[in-house]
Structure 1
Amino acid sequence: MRHTLPIAPQFYVTAPQPCPYLEGRMERKLFTALQGESADKLNDSLSQQGFRRSQNVLYRPSCAECSACLSARISVEDYAPSRSQKRTSRRNSDVERRATSPWASEDQYELFRTYLDSRHADGGMADMDVFEFAAMIEETPIRSRVVEYLDPARAGLIGVSLTDVLSDGLSMVYSFYAPDEPKRSLGTYMILDHIEIARDAGLPYVYLGYWVPGSQKMGYKSNFSGLEVYIGGRWQKVKDPEAFNADMHPLSTDPIAEQVANIHLPDTRPTG
């Protein structure tokens, strides 16, 4: 008997687990599967509503007593580099960029392990083996690219970004880089380069994932002008990052049923 996929995506909620960004808090995610012929449309639509992709899943924070995580993106038109960011671009003028299909390589995994062991040894991805890494890179039902950054002097990789190409921008799904090159500020440089890639392609936004006011791990995102965050069902410009405080009020999150009811789903009916 042939079974067909449900017409509308089904949404689920994860069990609470310790928050990786704010001590003493518990995180919970609202998620749905990303599959079928309309995966691109669904990914575009939900990305514009604060969701992020992880392999074949789209998710958004839905913590029971906290709404501190804010989906963030950079408006390419409104972005202007700071003096520090201009220096970062100049320091990396020798770096070569190479965009490829989403295939994992041994060099990528070696850099990934070095990055995790140096920066996130106790994080949720610390135990990821080569097969799980390959799945993270390769299991994508949409248009994705691996953007590699190479240092000619080292003759090897110094940075990698798994990047989705959306209808309105680039989404930096996951990035990692050589931790022994602190003067290069490679994390910042890869974002700067993605802004230029988006500008050249006529795409208005670069999606950065979640910004958590008060979290040192996420603080770098507020250093970019043109930053926008998704709050209350719409994108708002961040004029003064210092004015944003993490919203940890116990009534700050709408009930799950109300959240799902307010999600706009794309029209996936066949045309013609």
Structure 2
Amino acid sequence: MALYDRFCNQEFARLERQLDRYFISLRMECPYQLPYEATFYQALFGPLTDHVMELFLAAGYRRNGNSLYTMRCASCSSCIPIRLHPAEFRMNRNQRRVMKKNADLSVHFNSVQMNEENLLLCERFLRERYPQRSNTALGYYSGFFLNHIVTSLELHYRLDGRLLGNGIIDIGENWMNAVYFYFDPDQAGRSLGSFNILTMVDFCRQKGIDYLYLGYYIPGVSAMDYKARFYPHYLRLDNTWRRFDRP
């Protein structure tokens, strides 16, 4: 793994020098409600090759619509990129319970679609969890999920045909990127966010995908810090992916 990351860092350094002039710093209120101004360092892109996207993910970048970005906040460094190596992952007792609790769900991959069913569920989720006026399902799909730079899919979780959860993912030959997950707020007891990660891990194992990027781990933010309960995991700290094993 260290050799892979070294090669990625070297290649990305060359790529970054070529593309740096296209990036801008965008300042705004912290989207995770931390008491600091957030700075997104981002650029718009056209279609990317699988390998270029792999290099950006390995460098800790995230996707938002047709933009790639990383956080460069002046007063905060709480957003820590996190990834799993699916072949290494081992479930704990709670995660086995989550698998058993959701054994009645059907799981299917779909193209990313801004249809009525998805919009209604996403809107319910946003109103319950993130009720800011600017957060709308239409805005999330048109400005965040849909894109033309990488291959993206939806991972649907259904009970007797009814949509309970939807994971937006980007996928390449040797990587998977978890973009977003929303679910029926009435089904919170199912721990669908954890079940979504467990499902992605299983798919990556079946397809021989080595790297599963989970976005940001943000200590103290409950909507994000549950990701660190999956062991072993890797955090990108000081430009290096560091392994963390179960305590």
Cα distance change of structure 1 residues 212 and 130 upon mapping to structure 2, 3 Å threshold: closer
Deviation of 1:147 after TM superposition, in Å, equals 1.1
SS of aligned partner of 1:68: coil
Match of 1:184 in 2: 190
Identity of aligned residues (%): 24
Match of 2:14 in 1: none
Conserved 8 A contact 1:103-1:134: no
* Candidates 87, 92, 96, aligned match of 2:106: 96
State the AA in 1 paired with 2:115: S
Match of 2:205 in 1: 199
Deviations 1:29-60 (A, max 9, x none): 11122214x44332211011000111110001
Match of 2:8 in 1: none
- CA distance in 2 between counterparts of 1:53 and 1:172 reads 10
Match of 1:56 in 2: 66
Deviation of 1:113 after TM superposition, in Å, equals 0.4
Conserved 8 A contact 2:82-2:236: yes
Who wins on radius of gyration, i.e. which is larger? 1
State the AA in 2 paired with 1:54: N
Match of 1:142 in 2: 150
Could you list the runs of 5+ residues in structure 1 that have no partner in the other structure? 1-6, 242-272
Match of 1:231 in 2: 237
Deviation of 1:135 after TM superposition, in Å, equals 4.7
Match of 1:208 in 2: 214
Q: Which has the higher contact order (CA 8 A, sep 6+)?
A: 1
- CA distance in 2 between counterparts of 1:225 and 1:111 reads 30
* Candidates 90, 96, 106, aligned match of 1:80: 90
Cα distance change of structure 1 residues 69 and 91 upon mapping to structure 2, 3 Å threshold: same
Match of 1:13 in 2: 24
Could you list the runs of 5+ residues in structure 2 that have no partner in the other structure? 1-16
Deviation of 1:92 after TM superposition, in Å, equals 0.7
Cα distance change of structure 1 residues 39 and 213 upon mapping to structure 2, 3 Å threshold: same
- CA distance in 1 between counterparts of 2:202 and 2:104 reads 16
TM-score normalised by the chain length of structure 1: 0.78
Give matches, 1:27-176, under 5 Å.
27-36=38-47, 38-122=48-132, 126=135, 128=136, 130=138, 133-152=141-160, 155-176=161-182
State the AA in 1 paired with 2:40: K
Runs of 4+ in 1 over 6 A off after TM superposition: none
- CA distance in 2 between counterparts of 1:235 and 1:73 reads 9
C-alpha RMSD of the superposition: 2.1
TM-score normalised by the chain length of structure 2: 0.85
Deviations 1:52-90 (A, max 9, x none): 111110001011232221101112122111111101001
Cα distance change of structure 1 residues 131 and 232 upon mapping to structure 2, 3 Å threshold: closer
Deviation of 1:146 after TM superposition, in Å, equals 1.2
